[in-house]
Amino acid sequence: MTGLKALIATGDFDFLDFGCSKGGSLQFGKSFFGGHRGLGVDIDPQKVETTRALGLDAVEGDVTQLNLPDNSVSFVLMLDFLEHLPGFDLARRAIASACRVAKDFVFIRHPWFDADGALMEHGLKFYWSDWHGHPNNFGQLSFYRALARSKDVHQWMLFGQDRVKDSHSPDLLPLDAPMDLPAIAAEVAQARPKVVFNFKAYRQITCLVQINPDYPTQLIVDRLPRSEHLFTSGAGDRS
């Protein structure tokens, strides 16, 4: 198997996909961002083989320990990946690695965990917040801690996607429901008493990190579906 560094050195790849899993995020990198050719990196050899079986490019590797030159590719994706890492430090290192090897931007999509406490007061929880496979409940403050002092970053933004406005969402389970359950049927969610939330809750949080100050990230922002702006970094964040 050709190593990651040798593949990147060919110049054939314009983006990397950290935690490529089964290849769907590589396809997203092409369709949404117009990427020419992406290379997936995953620590699980079975997922790498699954991705390759789809005719996509992937290699086995630890994204927190990449031996790649700075600015190796145009952009790096991390889609539904950070929650699987065991703890903040590894997530921070993965983000730092992405910001170092990308020359234009980094795009991160992640489940929303910031409403867990407020939902608990209503006897509810998001189904993804109670999975054994999600040990890292990375939230808005976690992104701030990981990015605020990065010298590789020009600016970064947070967006909430798919607002969850009330208790009728199928993504919500009773607090005492067993772990590792998926979303429930819509008719089951509709049958419970409706509570309109006075706090912000979303299905996902998106972080767009601008590396190249001249890259038109607003073009990406304008295309984010069902999104609400939450935060944009300022010069004071790097003090």
Q: State which amino acid sits at residue 59.
A: V
Report pLDDT for 237: 54
Q: Is the dihedral of CA 13, 15, 17, 18 positive or negative?
A: positive
Unique residue bearing structure tokens 């020359």: 103
Using alpha carbons, select from 61, 62, 51 the residue that is nearest to residue 22: 51
Pair of tokens at residue 7? 């593949």
Taking only the tens of pLDDT, the chain with its 239 residues reads 458 889 999 999 999 999 998 889 999 999 999 999 999 999 999 999 999 999 999 999 999 888 899 999 999 999 999 999 999 999 999 999 999 999 999 999 999 999 999 999 999 999 999 999 999 999 999 999 999 989 889 999 999 999 999 999 999 999 999 999 999 999 999 999 999 999 999 999 999 999 999 999 999 999 999 999 999 998 445 44
Residue 72 lies in a domain: yes
Report pLDDT for 239: 41
Tell me how many domains the chain contains: 1
Residue 24 lies in a domain: no
Question: Cα–Cα distance between 199 and 18 in angstroms, integer?
Answer: 32
Residue 169 lies in a domain: yes
Report pLDDT for 2: 59
> In the chain, how long is the greatest CA-to-CA distance?
58
Residue 143 lies in a domain: yes
Kindly report the pTM of this predicted structure. 0.94
Half-sphere exposure of 108 (CA within 13 A, CB side): 31
Report pLDDT for 65: 87
Which domain does 85 fall in, by range? 62-234
Residue 25 lies in a domain: no
Residue 22 lies in a domain: no
Residue 130 lies in a domain: yes
Residue 38 lies in a domain: no
Report pLDDT for 45: 93
Q: What is the three-state SS of the chain? A: CCCHHHHHHCCCCCEEEECCCCCHHHHHHHHCCCCCCEEEEECCHHHHHHHHHCCCEEEECCHHHCCCCCCCEEEEEEECCHHHCCCHHHHHHHHHHHHHHEEEEEEEEEECCCCHHHHHHCCEEEHHHHCCCCCCCCCHHHHHHHHCCCCCCCEEEEEEEEECCECCCCCEEECCCCCCCCCCCHHHHHHCCCCECCCCCEEEEEEEEECCCCCCCHHHHCCCCCEEEEEECCHHHHC
